[in-house]
Structure 1
Amino acid sequence: MQRDTYDSDHEDFRQAVRAFIARDVQPHHGRWENEGLIERTAWEAAGQQGLIGIAVPEEFGGGGTPDFRYRLIIMEELAAAAANSFNAGLSVQDDLVIPYLVDLGSQEQKARWLPGLCAGTLIGSLAMTEPGTGSDLRSIRTTAVSSADGWILDGQKTFITNGMHADVVIVFARTNPDSSNAAFSLFLVDTLSEGFRRGRKLEKVGLRGNDTAELYFDQIHLPREALLGVEGAGFSHLMDRLPRERLAIAATSLAASSAAFEWTKSYCFERKAFGRPVGDFQNTRFTLAEIATELDFGWAFLDRAVHLLNAEELSAVDAAKAKWWMTALHQRVVDQCVQLHGGYGYMLEYPIARAFLDARIQPIYGGTNEIMKEIIGRDIADRTRSQV
């Protein structure tokens, strides 16, 4: 299907992204995967090329262009290069941390953090999940207690993307822990703060090059101005920004699925079995036809969702639909593509093998797909009842 999503400016940007990846990502990506950490120089190079903070106002070091299609191009090109770990890290920076600061930060907070985040000289992370809570954020135990001159933050977080590199962490914490109606707030934590420490760099099945960590906040004394947004409104702040996060996850899955399909098409018509290309067997053609059709439907839905996001009209329900369906499609596509590669699909020297491993987290983070279906189902129930 021919997409008409992009104009000439977008395509010029795509060429710049491809040049950056060829120069600063692909020569090092294998080593990052083996070492479990992406070098900070890659972040700085991305910042120098203007690939981070595209939507951030120019006064704070960004590109001043709030058009999510530019982010989508970066996702597509990194996926095509099998650089899924860097894709995940940049998404946390650009689709979570930076928008929280742009939307909720004071002028002082924006001036302190945004220029470095856009330049790639600073790396950010978002700390919500805790051991034993998973997607149940109302059960978190991390607390921020008001003190005479600020806050005392105490607790721990886990599964934190960019955790080992992070210079600033947005922390979700309880701010009235003794109340039966617990309120939650967000805090900006400088990782140089006394009482902050990093735990293990977690060993994951996929996205091996992306650092994921345990973080500890041991009675950290935060200044009053560390509060991000409105005190007690932390949960609503999260809910308001989840549609963008979930759309970014959906977009990453669709880009990765398309990349896997491109590699597999090429392989099927290069590899021969029983004297003819694998792609000439009917079963192979049927599988390729199914994948191609589902990807076309996926891109049509995603392009519409991106249009809604740019217009600030993307609903939580539409984002949930995109997230669950495209991440589920991602699982089917990479599984079928591994099968079509045969034994070579199980070898890590082939990008499809890493793509298979990298894909599995997509239906889990950002809210599990079971939660996405509950959001959609609850909306259906509410609408139906209102019509009865």
Structure 2
Amino acid sequence: MSASSTLPPFDPADPLGLDDLLDDEDLSIRDTVRSWAAERVLPYVAEWYETGELPGIRELARELGSMGALGMSLSGYGCAGASAVQYGLACLELEAADSGIRSLVSVQGSLAMYAVHRFGSGEQKQTWLPRMASGEVIGCFGLTEPDHGSDPASMRTYARRDGADWVLTGRKTWITNGSVAGVAVVWARTEEGIRGFVVPTDSPGFSAPEIKHKWSLRASVTSELVMDDVRLPADAVLPEVTGLKGPLSCLSHARYGIVWGSMGAARACFEAAVDYARTREQFGRPIGGFQLTQAKLADMAVELHKGILLAHHLGRRMDAGRLRPEQISFGKLNNVREAIEICRTARTILGANGISLEYPVMRHATNLESVLTYEGTVEMHQLVLGKALTGLDAFR
């Protein structure tokens, strides 16, 4: 028998055979999230995007909680305790539907819940994590400020002691989930350094006006957080961390999800381009039969599946406890940048139809413009890698 007769057939949807890296549980989780997104997001997301709303977000959160998708890679307190790869697969499938849905899950699990899980007291964990894991309570994460995005060390939000209490004052902006959150993890300057606070959003002096007129992440709730002398008890502070290492470690966890999620957006656009190229006829035959179109599709497939392979590699390293923040920067920088290029190339294949909401391409392309800069801009990740490569700090 020849060696070629034992080879599996070429799968256009998985040209590198990456499914061979997954076990049955991995595949089951991926397929469950994919089916949920196909039923609960894809039929409606174009309308949500057009109206700039995410109706039923609380119901969606409870459904995601029932699937174990909230705080998915955390253990205990009602969390699923899934592997990093399984969490990544979920992020990919969610963002293949829409970046706003993946952002809802990332902010809930990788930022707000992760902060409480890693740095919170036993009481804070028991109070918040089970309800957040189930989707009963939505969380948000307040770090970015109107004048301080890439430089959080210069934040102005301040917490001062008043007797046994803390009094929190300041503003945060571009906060996913803010207007619907029941709890906010807010980072603030104190006399002791930067500290994190667990803030119930019904606290007097706290408000979260929603940000409107966005042209990206329109199927997502984005808000400001305004703290006007919000009085908090002594035990509102996260006790296990002081300094920027707290919020930055949370961001690393969330950025890991973006490494996977961005490839979901890219995959959706690539699949739309392939389907369109097979059926759209010009000059008497499908445009997929022309060399220039095939060249575009081949290049898109190469970058898409290289990006997914990179995400797998980083996930295995995270599961082994060997993933460094610089490696996450490597993944976010590459995968988001390539995802945007894949979406733009898909738009050229679809021509004028590429800007229509009947197809997912322009929606994903505009969403990825936000993903490119949130949780670390291109420039910040380039400088993280530059410092790691040269040993020289170019940030200041």
Which of 180, 204, 218 pairs up with 1:208?
Answer: 218
- Following TM superposition, the consecutive aligned residue runs of length 4 or more in structure 1 with deviations greater than 3 angstroms are none
The structural deviation recorded for 1:190 is 0.3
Which of 249, 258, 262 pairs up with 2:271?
Answer: 262
Which of 335, 343, 358 pairs up with 1:334?
Answer: 343
**1:178-197 aligned within 5 A:** 183-197=193-207
Most deviating of 104-113 and 5-14: 5-14
3-state secondary structure, aligned to 1:366: coil
Q: What's 2:32 paired with?
A: 16
The structural deviation recorded for 1:230 is 3.7
The structural deviation recorded for 1:353 is 1.8
What amino acid maps onto 1:21 in structure 2?
A
Q: What's 1:372 paired with?
A: 381
Which of 31, 48, 53 pairs up with 1:36?
Answer: 53
3-state secondary structure, aligned to 2:21: coil
Which of 304, 310, 319 pairs up with 1:310?
Answer: 319
3-state secondary structure, aligned to 2:166: strand
Q: Are the equivalent residues in 2 in contact too, given 1:20–1:49 (CA < 8 A)?
A: no
Instruction: Output one character per residue of 1:214-237: Cα deviation in whole Å (capped at 9) or x when no partner.
Output: 110010111111101346x13111
What is the TM-score when the length of structure 2 is the normalising length?
Answer: 0.90
Taking a change above 3 Å as real, the CA distance of residues 257 and 23 of structure 1, as seen in their structure-2 partners, is closer
Q: Are the equivalent residues in 2 in contact too, given 1:164–1:201 (CA < 8 A)?
A: no
What amino acid maps onto 1:295 in structure 2?
L
The structural deviation recorded for 1:144 is 0.5
CA distance in 1, matches of 2:392, 2:217: 39
Taking a change above 3 Å as real, the CA distance of residues 22 and 333 of structure 1, as seen in their structure-2 partners, is closer
Taking a change above 3 Å as real, the CA distance of residues 324 and 172 of structure 1, as seen in their structure-2 partners, is same
Point out where structure 2 has 5 or more consecutive residues left out of the alignment: 1-15
Taking a change above 3 Å as real, the CA distance of residues 68 and 41 of structure 1, as seen in their structure-2 partners, is same
Q: Are the equivalent residues in 2 in contact too, given 1:145–1:153 (CA < 8 A)?
A: yes
Q: What's 1:179 paired with?
A: none
Point out where structure 1 has 5 or more consecutive residues left out of the alignment: 177-181
Q: What's 1:163 paired with?
A: 178
- Tell me the matched-pair count: 375
Which of 195, 209, 219 pairs up with 1:199?
Answer: 209
Taking a change above 3 Å as real, the CA distance of residues 229 and 369 of structure 1, as seen in their structure-2 partners, is farther
Which of 340, 356, 365 pairs up with 1:347?
Answer: 356
What amino acid maps onto 1:139 in structure 2?
S
The percent identity for this pair of structures is: 31
**1:43-54 aligned within 5 A:** 43-54=61-72
Q: Are the equivalent residues in 1 in contact too, given 2:95–2:101 (CA < 8 A)?
A: no
3-state secondary structure, aligned to 1:55: coil
The structural deviation recorded for 1:35 is 4.5
Which of 234, 244, 269 pairs up with 1:235?
Answer: 244
3-state secondary structure, aligned to 2:203: coil
Taking a change above 3 Å as real, the CA distance of residues 293 and 15 of structure 1, as seen in their structure-2 partners, is closer
Q: Are the equivalent residues in 2 in contact too, given 1:151–1:224 (CA < 8 A)?
A: yes
Q: Are the equivalent residues in 1 in contact too, given 2:157–2:171 (CA < 8 A)?
A: yes
CA distance in 1, matches of 2:313, 2:116: 26
Instruction: Output one character per residue of 1:259-305: Cα deviation in whole Å (capped at 9) or x when no partner.
Output: 21111111111111111111111110111111111222222221111
Q: What's 2:11 paired with?
A: none
The structural deviation recorded for 1:204 is 1.7
3-state secondary structure, aligned to 1:47: helix
Which of 95, 101, 104 pairs up with 2:116?
Answer: 101
Q: What's 2:146 paired with?
A: 131
Taking a change above 3 Å as real, the CA distance of residues 301 and 166 of structure 1, as seen in their structure-2 partners, is same
**1:75-94 aligned within 5 A:** 75-80=91-96, 82-94=97-109
Q: What's 2:23 paired with?
A: 7
What amino acid maps onto 2:325 in structure 1?
A
Q: Are the equivalent residues in 2 in contact too, given 1:301–1:322 (CA < 8 A)?
A: yes
CA distance in 2, matches of 1:23, 1:286: 33
CA distance in 1, matches of 2:42, 2:302: 30
The structural deviation recorded for 1:199 is 2.2
Report whether the alignment pairs 1:290 with 2:299.
Answer: yes
